Amino acid sequence: MERYNDTERTSLWVIAGRVVFTVALIACIWFIFSNSMAVATVSTGSSGRVLAWMRIILRRLGQPGLAEHLTMHIVRKLAHFCEYTLEGFLLMLCMRVYSRHPLRHITVPMLGGVLTALADETIQLFSEGRSSQVTDVWLDSAGVLAGILVAIVLLLACEGLYYHIKRRHEWPSNRQISILQPCRTALPTRSSGVRCCAPRWSRWSSWVWQVLPVKRRWRVC
């Protein structure tokens, strides 16, 4: 896994992100395990309160029929899915602040989520009045995958917006450049040559090449 170089000065934003996301992930996993360690009577009472709140919210939203069809079983399965969606989201954010290329190591948060689901169902075997189900492991894993996908979309959007704003200030201010005309302004690159400025249509999509783990072949003037 390619991490941030220790010889370079790590940004304070990266350090703050590591602390915040790591603490949030530990708190999320502890919340999941604490619910699994609860006995059947306590777990049923908590689910009943959540069911009552959801029915009140649905009635206020003008959905009384949907509120009546909402059952304890649906609430418990939704709770499983939502808490593991949050865990998958936090796992992907942690991977982002600890690695420069989180998409290349996407199997790490997926494996962490599956192991958490297996440990969760194992804990329920030793809780009074609780049972373990294989379908819950699959449901929890689906929640982890959903959280990872949400985090990827959010990260791509944020990084794309950042690079778009950054490159918008680098392009020449002349707005008369035609798409069909060759560029007149060149930007220096790390190589010996120079990189031509892209036409207007590619300015809006140039951030994609910064986010995706591929190299773009620039035309040399």
Higher pLDDT, 183 or 36: 36
Q: For 34-60, what is the mean pLDDT?
A: 89
Q: Give the containing element (helix H, strand E) for 194.
A: strand 194-196
Q: What per-residue confidence (pLDDT) applies to 8?
A: 57
For 30, the enclosing helix (H) or strand (E) is helix 12-37
Contacts of 152 (CB under 8 A, 6+ apart): 92, 103, 106
C-alpha distance from residue 104 to each of 26, 77, 107, 187 (Å): 23, 31, 8, 30
Give the pair of three-digit tokens for residue 56.
Answer: 């009140």
**pLDDT one-digit tens code per residue, 103-119:** 888 999 999 999 999 99
Across all residues in the chain, what is the average pLDDT?
78
Q: Which residues pair with 186 in a beta bridge?
A: 196
| pLDDT at 21 exceeding the cut of 80 | yes
Domain boundaries, the chain: 12-168, 174-221
Q: Is the pLDDT of residue 219 over 90?
A: no
The H-assigned helical ranges of 38-71 are: 40-60, 64-69
Q: What is the pLDDT of residues 148-207, one digit of tens each?
A: 999 999 988 988 888 888 887 765 544 444 433 444 444 444 444 444 444 443 444 444
Please give the average per-residue pLDDT across 59-75, as a whole number.
87
DSSP secondary structure code for residue 221 in this structure = -
pLDDT score for 202? 43
Query: Which is more confidently placed, 22 or 128?
Result: 22
- Residues of the chain above pLDDT 70, percent: 73
Q: Judging by beta carbons within 10 Å of its beta carbon (0-12, 13-18, 19+), is residue 108 exposed, middle or buried? A: middle
Across 39-58, average pLDDT: 88
CB-CB contact of 207 with 200 (8 Å): no
Confidence of residue 128 (pLDDT cuts 50, 70, 90): confident
